[in-house]
Amino acid sequence: MAYRLSELNRSGIPPLLQGIETRESWNDKLARIRETWLDYIGGLPAPVSVNMEILSETEEQDHRRLYIRYDTVYGDKITAYLLVPGKQCDSPSVAYPAVLALHSTMQIGKDGIAVPGKALENREYGLEMVSRGYVVLAPDALTCGERIYDGFPPFNSSPFYEQHPEWSTVAKNLCDHRQGVDVLCSLEFVDAGRIGAIGHSFGAYNAYFLAGIDKRVKAIVSSCGVSPFTGDPHPEHWGIRPWPYTHLPKFDADLKADRAPFEFHEIMALCAPTPFFVYAGQQDHIFPHWKSIGEVILELAKLYGWLGREDEFVGLIGSGGHDFPPHIRLDAYEFLDRWLRGK
């Protein structure tokens, strides 16, 4: 699966289905992709048992916000908001669809998508999803919100790597979000067969990373979260960065050797055939290589078509920047409604 990065930049995104003629051969390739990915990020320890505590409750106009904390791997705890439609939880016979709403790179973490008056413009998808009748779990990611390491600024992952030098924050986030799915599945008012994931930027690629390894996620929305190595003017952002947050420490050595260990459309393909909505902007200053991103979207569309599931993939490229504008959010919500609510 490894590539020469210089060759990718000359030739473009490698075809997902090249040499693939049967489902068996595709499944074999998918197994190799998964094995490579899990090895590269450092593996995933077994999840821990669900242990959730409610710290406080707040009544909002159309929902209740539960401030919660729950266990994750290696003795860590996750702070999150659980948004429940209506002012009173319905009877156990009523089970809502649910979404894991993952925030972008913002210091305030979960508050930026889930708290009235604090949610940032075009990032209020936690609030908007609960208003549409979804239970929403909005957790703090490591280094954000209430999970900033003591004595360190936000987004500083150096304490994590001091504790786990052979692991990665990508794998850590995957474990944490998998625990979030466990929490949702444990709730009697959540339909465990109708859980989705939605995110922007940092939250967007964490959403499809999660769906690729956890098939309990039945629909995905990714806004401005596709960043292939191919055509990227700054591929080093995946490795050890001059600012403190590091995704994949191993990538520094690969980059120096002109090597890409995989391409990200392969990691996204781990989600197939889960319904998948992808949006990207041509003026995205963070992920500016929109032509390569377009190739990624096209390859995924071809894959879903080959699998006979073309209507379960939507890929959009707009003329905007690194944003999740209202009309795109509405399209995304309607996509989730179709696959999680049958509307």
Residue with token string 């242990």: 51
* Statement: residue 87 has pLDDT above 70: no
Side chain identity, residue 29:
K
- Domain 3-221+241-341 falls in which CATH fold? Rossmann fold (3.40.50)
- Residues 246 and 42: their CA atoms lie apart, in Å, by 14
Give the model confidence (pLDDT) of 288-340 as tens digits.
999 999 999 999 999 999 999 999 999 999 999 999 999 999 999 999 999 99
First to last CA, the chain: 39
Greatest CA separation for the chain: 58
**pLDDT tens digit sequence for 213-248:** 999 999 999 999 999 999 999 999 999 986 789 999
All structural domains of the chain with their residue ranges: 3-221+241-341
Band of the pLDDT at 90, cuts 50, 70, 90? very low
pLDDT tens across 34-58, in order?
999 999 999 999 999 999 999 999 9
Question: What's this model's pTM, rounded to 2 decimal places?
Answer: 0.96
pLDDT of res. 1: 74
Q: Is 166 exposed, middle or buried (0-12, 13-18, 19+ CB in 10 A)?
A: exposed
Left (φ > 0), alpha (ψ -120 to 50) or beta: where does 53 sit? Answer: beta
Condensed to tens digits (0 to 9), the pLDDT of residues 101-140 reads 999 999 999 999 999 999 999 999 999 999 999 999 999 9
From its phi and psi, is residue 75 left (phi > 0), alpha (psi between -120 and 50) or beta? left
